[in-house]
Amino acid sequence: MLVRRLASMKIAVTLLVALLVVMGAGTIVESARGSETASRLVYYAWWFQALEAALAINVLASIVDHWPWGARRTGFLFTHSAIVIILAGAAVTQFLKVEGHMPIWEGETSTQFTREGTRAGTIVPLPFALNLTAFEIDTYPGTTRPAMFRSRVVVLDATNGKNFPAVIQMNQELSYGGWKFFQSSYHQTEARDQTILAVAKDPGQPIVFFGYALLLIGMVTVLGTRISQFRILGKFAVLAIGLALCGSRALAATVPDPATIEALKRLPVQHDGRVMPLDTMAREAVWNVTGQTRWQGLDPTGLVVGWTVAPDEWEHQPLVKIGSVALAKEIGLAPGANHATFDELARNQKLLGLVQQAHAAEQAGRKLSGSLAAASKLEERLNWMWGLLTKTSLTVVPHPTDPTGTWTVPPVVSIDALRQLAATPSAAIERELVYNAARPTRISWIVLLAGTVLAVLAMRTEKRWLDVASLVALVAGFAVMSWGIGTRWSLAGRIPASNMYESLLFLAWGVLFFALIVFAVLRNRLVVLNAAAMSTLTMALTDLLPIDGFIHPVAPVLANTAWLAIHVPIIMVSYSVLALGVLFAHMQIGIGLFAPKRQDLVARMSDLLYWYIHIGSILLIAGIITGSIWASSSWGRYWGWDPKEVWSLVAFLAYLAVLHARHQRYIGPFAVASISIAAFWMILMTYLGVNFVLTAGLHSYGFGGSSVVNGMVAVAVVEIVFVAAGWVAYRRNERTIGGPGAPGRPSVA
C-alpha cells in the first residue's frame, strides 16, 4: 500500500512541475546574481537535492508497483529505470567528481592541478606529468580572431615507463590514467605562452550516459506501443524514429556605372576570416552602417566603392543609422533624427563620452543597457564606415606566399585598379554571387505562401487538384530551402547552425521535413496547411526582420566537431515538431471559440497535438542528450546548469508532465492544448529568452541583446487573452453541447 502511494502519478506530475518551476527560477537568479549564487541557492541546495531524491523514489516505486511488467510495459520499464540511473549517476558525479585547472608554461612540466568545486583551492597531485612543448593559436585568415587553440604536450609516466606526445584542443581531449584533460583557456606574454587545461575525473559520467541511451530507447518504445494501441499505420513509427536523425546627383557621380559594378561584385576580398566577393562584404557594410539593404536604391557594391574612392564626399552624408531616439536626443541631434553624417558623429563629444563609459563598463564586466548599449552599437557602425573611408578594410591583394596569410590594401585604390583585380573570379566566388542574388529565404517564403493559400482553398473546396498544387508548392519551397542551406554550408565550410538567422533556417526546414514525411503516411490536409503556414511565417520573419544574415566565423568550441552537425539539427527539428503541435493547440481552442459545433474537428486536433507532443518530446530529449555529450567532450562537464541547458530541460519536463497527465486522464483536451501552449513558451524561452531576456550563459554565440523582449511580452499577453477566451467558450460549450469530446474521451478540462 505504501509503495502504491509513493508511486502516485499525481505526485509524479507535481514533482515535475515543482522541478521545472524551481529550475526556471534558478536561471533568473543566475542572470541577476551570477552562476555561483544560483548554484548555492538553487541547483546544489539541500532542498533541491531532496526534490530530485523524491522524484527518484516516486519513479522507483512506480516500477515496483507495476510488477509484473510484461512485454507491453518494456518502454515504461526502460524510461523509468533510465530516470533513476541518470539521477544516480548525477549523484555520483556531484559527490565523487574531481575537477580543476592546470596552468602550464611552454617548456615546463606539471604534476598537479588546482581543484574546483567543494574543495576549491586544494592542490591535487597526478600519478604522471604533462610537459607543454608548444601552445598554438590558429586564427581566421586576415584577422586576430581565434579559430582554434591547442596544446602540444608530452605525457611523462615514470611509474609505467610511458612517454608519448599528445595534442589537446577544443573538442579533442586527452584521456589517460582515468583522467581527462581539456583545452580551457590560455595566457600570452611577449616571451612565451601559458596554456590552461581543465582536468576531470568523473565516475558518474558513464552511468549517466548509459541512462541517456536507455531513456531514448524507452521513449521510442513507448511511442511504438501507443501507436499500436491507437492502430495508426505501423510504418509511422519507423518514420518517426528516423526523424531523430544614393541621394544627390553629385554623389551618384562617385558611384561606378552598372557594368563596372557587376564586374567589381566579383572582386575577392578577405573579410571576417574568409575570402568572399566584394558583393557580400558590401551588402554587410551597407546593412551595418545604414540599417538598410540598399541606401536610396543604390547597389551596395557601388555604394561601398563610392565611399572608398570618394570619402570626402560621403562622410558628410546622413547615412549612419543612430538606432535609438533616446541616444539621438542625449547627444544633441535634431529631434526625430534616424541617421546622421559620419563627420557629425565622429566629432560629437557627448557620443565620445558615452562610448568611453561603455568601454569602461565592459572592462569592469558590467552589462550594457540603455544609452551605453546604443552608443556601443553606433560605434560599431562608425568603425565599419571608417574602415572603408580610409580604405583599410578593402583587403583585396592576397599574401604573396601564404594562402591563409593576411591580405593587404592595393597601393592605389581606384575603380580601374579594383576592376583589374576582379578579372578572374573563382567558382566559389561565382557560387556566392548566385546565392546572394537568389535570396533563397525570400523565394521560399513566397512559394510557401502560395502553397498556404492553395492549402486553404483545398480545405474549403476539397478539390484534389488543389491538394496536389499545394503539395507541389510545399515540395518546391522545401527544395529551395534545402538548396539555400546546402549552399550556405558550402560557403561557410561548416553546418549553418551557429546564430539566430541560421537556426531559423533550420526551424523552417525542420517543419517542412517533418510535415512531408507525416503527410506521406497520414494523407492529412491539415498537415500540409499547418506546415505551409508555419514555414511561410518563419522564413518571412527570417527574410524581413533586421536579423544579421551574414556568414561569420564561429567560436573555437563550435569548430572541429561533428556534434554541431548532430546536436543542432536534432534540437531544431524538435522545435519544428513542437511548433506544429502548438499550432494544432491554437486551432483546437480557436474551433471551440468560433465553430463550437465542430467537435469532430476538436477531437482530430487533439489527437494530432498528442502525437506531435510525443514525437517532439523524443526529439527534444535527443537534442538535450547530444548537447550534453558535446559539452562533455568540450569542457569535461556533461551538465553545467547553463541557462539554455536548464530551459531545455524545463521544456522537456513540461511536455513530460502533459503526456503523463493526459495518459492518466487527469486533464482533458482543452487543458492539454492550453498547457502545451504554455510549454511551448518554455521552448521560446530556451530559443530566445536566454539570449534576449536573461542574457546569460555559455550559449550566446552570434546572438546578443535586442528589443525582442517587448515583442515577446506583447505576444504573451495576446496568448493569455486567447486562452482565457477559449476557456470561457469551452465552459459554455460544455453546458450547451456536452463538451469537447466524443464518447470515451475525458470530459475534464
Q: How confident is the model over 611-645, as pLDDT tens digits?
A: 899 999 999 999 999 999 998 988 888 998 988 89
Per-residue pLDDT reduced to its tens digit, 298-322: 999 999 999 998 888 898 899 999 9
What is the C-alpha separation between 314 and 487, in angstroms, rounded? 35
The pLDDT value given to residue 252: 55
Cβ atoms of 16 and 657 within 8 Å: the answer is: yes
* Residues 636 and 729 both lie in one domain: yes
Q: What is the CA radius of gyration of the chain?
A: 29
The pLDDT value given to residue 738: 60
Phi, psi of 347 (to 5 degrees): -95, 0
The pLDDT value given to residue 558: 79
Inside any domain, residue 708 = yes
Those residues with Cβ within 8 angstroms of residue 160's Cβ, 6 or more apart along the chain or in another chain: 128
What is the C-alpha separation between 643 and 441, in angstroms, rounded? 30
Inside any domain, residue 643 = yes
Inside any domain, residue 664 = yes
* Strands laid side by side in the 179-188 sheet: 162-169, 146-157, 123-139, 109-115, 98-105, 193-201, 179-188, 174-176
Rounded to the nearest 10 degrees, the angle between the axes of helix 500-522 and helix 234-242 is 170
Domain C-terminal end among 214, 243, 275: 214
Domain C-terminal end among 168, 189, 214: 214
* Residues 18 and 153 both lie in one domain: no
The pLDDT value given to residue 1: 74
Phi, psi of 165 (to 5 degrees): -80, 155
Number of independent structural domains in the chain: 3
What is the C-alpha separation between 414 and 748, in angstroms, rounded? 76
CA-CA-CA-CA torsion for 276, 277, 281, 282, nearest 10 degrees?
Answer: 180
CATH number, domain with residue 116: 2.60.98
Consecutive sets of 10 residues in the chain, 749 residues long: mean pLDDT of each?
87 92 91 87 94 94 87 88 95 93 95 87 94 92 86 94 93 92 92 93 95 93 74 41 40 75 92 93 95 90 92 90 90 88 91 92 83 91 92 90 88 87 84 95 93 86 86 92 94 86 88 81 74 86 88 82 84 88 91 86 87 92 93 88 91 92 89 94 86 60 54 88 92 72 44
* Residues 658 and 676 both lie in one domain: yes
Rounded to whole angstroms, what are the CA distances from 4 to 56, 59, 60, 661? 14, 11, 11, 17
* Residues 172 and 29 both lie in one domain: no
Inside any domain, residue 575 = yes
Rounded to whole angstroms, what are the CA distances from 415 to 264, 395, 597? 9, 15, 70
What is the C-alpha separation between 277 and 267, in angstroms, rounded? 5
The pLDDT value given to residue 704: 43
Q: Spell out the SS3 assignment of 192-254.
A: CEEEEEEEEECCCHHHHHHHHHHHHHHHHHHHHHHHHHCCCCHHHHHHHHHCCCCCCHHHHCC
* Residues 581 and 721 both lie in one domain: yes
Cβ atoms of 654 and 674 within 8 Å: the answer is: no
Phi, psi of 130 (to 5 degrees): -120, 130
**The C-alpha cell of 69 is what?**
511488467
* Residues 596 and 609 both lie in one domain: yes
Inside any domain, residue 691 = yes
Rounded to whole angstroms, what are the CA distances from 394 to 177, 254, 444? 52, 17, 33
* Residues 26 and 166 both lie in one domain: no
**The C-alpha cell of 724 is what?**
482565457
pTM of the predicted protein model: 0.81
* Residues 38 and 169 both lie in one domain: no
Inside any domain, residue 368 = no
The pLDDT value given to residue 141: 84
The pLDDT value given to residue 532: 83
- Half-sphere exposure (CA, 13 Å, Cβ side) for 444? 30
Rounded to whole angstroms, what are the CA distances from 151 to 135, 174, 435, 527, 631? 5, 10, 38, 51, 19
The pLDDT value given to residue 228: 66
Inside any domain, residue 647 = yes
* Residues 80 and 109 both lie in one domain: no
Could you list the residue range(s) of the whole structural domain that residue 622 is in?
564-749
What is the C-alpha separation between 198 and 183, in angstroms, rounded? 6
**Residue 407 DSSP symbol:** P
Domain C-terminal end among 180, 214, 248: 214
What is the C-alpha separation between 484 and 576, in angstroms, rounded? 18
The pLDDT value given to residue 247: 40
Angle subtended at Cα 435 by Cα 434 and Cα 438, rounded to the nearest 5 degrees: 80
Among 646, 653, 629, 635, smallest CA distance to 697 is for 646
What is the C-alpha separation between 84 and 91, in angstroms, rounded? 11
What is the C-alpha separation between 606 and 600, in angstroms, rounded? 10
Concatenate the DSSP letters of all residues of 640-707 into one string.
---HHHHHHHHHHHHHHHHHHHHHTTSS-HHHHHHHHHHHHHHHHIIIIIIIIII--SS--TT----T
Amino acid at 200: A
Angle subtended at Cα 514 by Cα 236 and Cα 536, rounded to the nearest 5 degrees: 150
* Residues 735 and 656 both lie in one domain: yes
* Residues 13 and 149 both lie in one domain: no
* Residues 653 and 717 both lie in one domain: yes
Inside any domain, residue 442 = no
Cβ atoms of 613 and 589 within 8 Å: the answer is: no
